[in-house]
Amino acid sequence: MVLDCSGETLKESLNNSEKPCLIKPNLEELSALLHKNVVNEDDTLKKTLTDPLFDDIEWIVVSLGGDGAFVRHGNDFYRVQIPKIKVVNAVGSGDATVAGLCSAIAHEESDDVLLKRANTLGMLNAQEKMTGHINCDRYDELFSKISVSPIA
């Protein structure tokens, strides 16, 4: 199960005996869930994502908008840095990112490829006027500009 939700729905799913495989909160949603201000700093995010509330969640992808993402996969942490792009319409970009995450999980891609694929699709959606549309001709160009760095 992959969840991109917030509020009570996210809280209830994390407190359920059946845990999702992946959740994709943004900083605001993470802060609301934990009732504290979570800032975009590696040490703070690492500590936050090891909260017992997230036990048994294989993937936690924290969306940081134009700043990329911070990710926990099992016991590994990553900082995903994305290039600056001209955003035309960001509606649906989270859904496009989730589609990339699901596709990469289904194809058993490496963490690096999974995170690059997901972020590439989200950015491609944001560059289009039509919601839910991507221009695949730009896929390789954007994919190559994304960096995924392990965080110790």
Top-tier CATH class for 2-151: alpha beta
Residue positions counted in the chain? 152
pTM of the model: 0.94
Nearest to 60 by CA among 46, 78, 50, 72: 72
pLDDT at 77: 98
Instruction: Name the average pLDDT for the chain.
Output: 95
Q: Which residue has the tokens 């989200």?
A: 122
- pLDDT band for position 132 (cuts 50, 70, 90): confident
pLDDT at 53: 93
CB-based contact 91:128 (threshold 8 Å) = no
Q: Is the pLDDT of residue 36 over 90?
A: yes
Domain ranges within the chain, ordered by starting residue: 2-151
pLDDT digits (tens, 9 = 90+) for 107-125: 999 999 999 999 999 999 9
pLDDT digits (tens, 9 = 90+) for 5-33: 888 999 999 999 999 999 999 999 999 99
H or E stretch including 30? helix 27-34
Structure tokens at 95: 């859904």
Helix axes 7-14, 27-34, angle to 10 degrees: 60
Q: Is the pLDDT of residue 147 over 90?
A: yes
- pLDDT band for position 3 (cuts 50, 70, 90): confident
61-67 mean pLDDT: 94
Paired strand residues for 69 = 63, 80
- DSSP conformation class of 45: H
